[in-house]
Amino acid sequence: MTDDEIRTLTAEVLAGIAPEADLATVGDDEDLREALDLDSMDFLNFVIALGQRTGRAIPEADARRLVTMRGLLGYLSR
């Protein structure tokens, strides 16, 4: 996946979990949970939905790597 595809996918998944979240206001190194006011359940649902949409299993242990956009880009582009 390209960076643009990952950003688009992330925005789409977040729209289903936290419709008021505006990913465009979040820097690449900001914690998505804090910046978008996602509680632990929202974030877990976000990680599950990313896994479903990409067809990749994302182990719970890897969720901590997905808390920033930079982390998401690195994780999903490999």
Instruction: Report the alpha-carbon distance of residue 75 to residue 10 in Å, rounded.
Output: 12
pLDDT at 78 exceeding the cut of 90? no
Domains in the chain with CATH codes: 3-77 (1.10.1200.10)
pLDDT digits 0-9 by tens, 47-75:
999 999 999 999 989 999 999 999 999 99
Please state, in angstroms and rounded to a whole number, the distance separating the CA atoms of residues 50 and 16. 11
Q: For 3-21, how does the pLDDT look when each residue is reduced to its tens digit (9 = 90+)? A: 999 999 999 999 999 999 8
pLDDT at 12: 96
20-32 tens-digit pLDDT:
989 999 999 999 9
DSSP of 57-70, one letter per residue? ---GGGGGGGSSHH
